[in-house]
């Protein structure tokens, strides 16, 4: 199945979603033709830009001189139904607007038929939602997954006055979904973006097992200093790997810290939740021996572990980039040896490894060399497997 993963590390909005899908290969001409069929009178453009050093596509709806009047749900659904779109695009877009209507109705305490969609009902937001659904159809996406969503913080100015972030409608749409706040104190996730993610996503969380074919970046309106303001979409096919996650890799070249300091830093990083941490020898400038520190972290722990590296080592700079971590299926089998019980880690392909801590404990308790415990565990497992 062809799937898409929305990586909302800097939030999600309607125009960011359309931009990311266009950047991932959705044909811009066909998408714009579909939007023109809505007969809103708007014009559309797509341009390449940069956000925080990342090249991305910016999708714009041009409505100069038009009135952004309020619309009711039935008016928007009729507009979608009338347009010559695919059945799936029509259904998805209608479902998104219904979800928005329900959220607005809950927030304002009125029947959904009475809801005025305000910004959501404006031409640009209709184009964003329909455009996202058309782009997904053009890319033949069968299933959507979304990361935990960065909603931002602070306040946002709306037609109802100054409201806290996430705005009430956004919060209602993301009930039960994993969210967090990091970065600039502003609204990173809009109701339109929240509605798209909440309505169309089959799952929220870590990157699913997939083979990545295309990557797209959709630019937000603002350019932040400390993070690229983009929505990333990964498009590809499902794979048989049972665990595939997006991780952050943090690296630093260090040439002026003692082995004791480096060893302590490694312990702290692992205790703080690093998935892995290691040092590799380097031959650095001025012929000085040094070490490459490499830490593999969950994206949400990236900043915590970076702070530990700065605090516990002498480095003044880090390299941070994203990577896919693939883990093969495995299970635990307990075997009985002459020295005691040992857990064996068994991979999906049948390879087996004794649990080191079990073998170490038995070696310490019995005075037996560790190599004998390891060999006994392997022998015991081979007998059980037969």
Q: Which residue reads 């973006």 in tokens?
A: 193
Q: Which tens digits make up the pLDDT trace of 292-350?
A: 999 999 887 888 999 999 999 999 999 988 887 777 777 899 999 999 999 999 987 78
- DSSP 3-state of 330: strand
**Residue-level pLDDT at 292:** 95
**Assigned fold of 244-327:** Alpha-Beta Plaits (3.30.70)
**Residue-level pLDDT at 117:** 65
Superfamily of the domain at 330-385: mk0293 like domain (3.10.20.300)
Q: Which tens digits make up the pLDDT trace of 173-219?
A: 999 999 999 999 999 999 999 999 999 999 898 888 788 999 999 99
**Residue-level pLDDT at 121:** 54
Reported confidence tier of residue 242, pLDDT bands at 50, 70, 90: low
CB 342, CB 358: distance < 8 Å: yes
175: CB partners within 8 A, 6+ apart:
none
Buried b (16+ CB within 10 A) or exposed e, 184-201: beebbbbbbbbbbbbbbb
Q: List the chain domain ranges.
A: 2-240, 244-327, 330-385
Percent of the chain with pLDDT over 70: 95
- DSSP 3-state of 132: helix
CA angle 346, 351, 353 (to 5 degrees): 60
pLDDT at 83 over 60: yes
Q: Which tens digits make up the pLDDT trace of 249-295?
A: 999 999 888 899 999 999 999 999 999 999 999 988 888 899 999 99
- Which of 89-98, 139-148, 297-306, 367-376 is predicted with the least confidence, judged by mean pLDDT? 297-306
Model pTM score: 0.65
**Residue-level pLDDT at 246:** 73
Q: Which residue reads 């690093």 in tokens?
A: 274
What's the N-to-C CA distance of the chain in angstroms?
37
**Residue-level pLDDT at 66:** 61
CA angle 185, 296, 248 (to 5 degrees): 35
Helix (H) or strand (E) holding 326: strand 319-327
Q: In Å, how far are 16, 104, 157, 172 from 109, measured between CA atoms?
A: 30, 8, 20, 13
């Amino acid at each position: 199945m062809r799937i898409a993963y929305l990586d909302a590390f800097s939030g999600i909005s309607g125009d960011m979603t359309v931009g990311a899908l266009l950047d991932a290969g959705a044909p811009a001409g066909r998408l714009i033709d579909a939007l023109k069929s809505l007969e809103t009178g708007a014009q559309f453009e797509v341009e390449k830009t940069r956000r925080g050093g990342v090249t991305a596509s910016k999708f714009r709806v041009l409505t100069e001189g038009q009135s952004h009047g309020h619309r009711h749900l039935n008016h928007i659904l009729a507009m979608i139904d009338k347009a010559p779109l695919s059945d799936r695009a029509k259904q998805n877009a209608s479902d998104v607007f219904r979800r928005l209507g329900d959220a607005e109705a809950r927030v304002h305490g009125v029947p959904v038929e009475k809801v005025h969609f305000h910004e959501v009902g404006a031409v640009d937001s209709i184009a964003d939602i329909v455009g996202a659904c058309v782009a997904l159809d053009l890319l033949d996406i069968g299933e959507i997954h979304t990361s935990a969503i960065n909603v931002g913080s602070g306040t946002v100015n709306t037609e109802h006055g100054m409201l806290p972030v996430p705005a009430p409608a956004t919060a209602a749409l993301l009930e039960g979904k994993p969210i967090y706040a990091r970065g600039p104190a502003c609204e990173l996730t809009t109701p339109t973006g929240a509605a798209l993610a909440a309505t169309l996503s089959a799952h929220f969380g870590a990157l699913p097992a997939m083979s990545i074919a295309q990557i797209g970046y959709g630019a937000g309106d603002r350019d932040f200093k400390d993070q690229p303001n983009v929505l990333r979409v990964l498009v590809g096919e499902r794979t048989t790997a049972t665990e595939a996650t997006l991780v952050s890799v943090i690296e630093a070249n260090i040439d002026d810290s003692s082995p004791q300091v480096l060893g302590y830093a490694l312990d702290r990083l692992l205790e703080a939740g690093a998935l892995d941490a290691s040092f590799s020898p380097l031959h650095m400038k001025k012929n000085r021996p040094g070490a490459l520190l490499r830490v593999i972290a969950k994206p949400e722990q990236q900043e915590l572990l970076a702070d530990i590296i700065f605090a516990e080592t002498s480095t003044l700079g880090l390299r941070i980039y994203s990577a896919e971590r693939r883990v093969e299926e495995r299970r635990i089998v307990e075997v009985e040896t002459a020295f005691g019980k040992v857990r064996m880690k068994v991979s999906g392909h049948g390879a087996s490894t004794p649990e080191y801590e079990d073998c170490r404990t038995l070696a310490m308790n019995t005075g037996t060399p560790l190599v004998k415990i390891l060999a006994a565990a392997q022998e015991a497992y081979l007998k059980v497997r037969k």
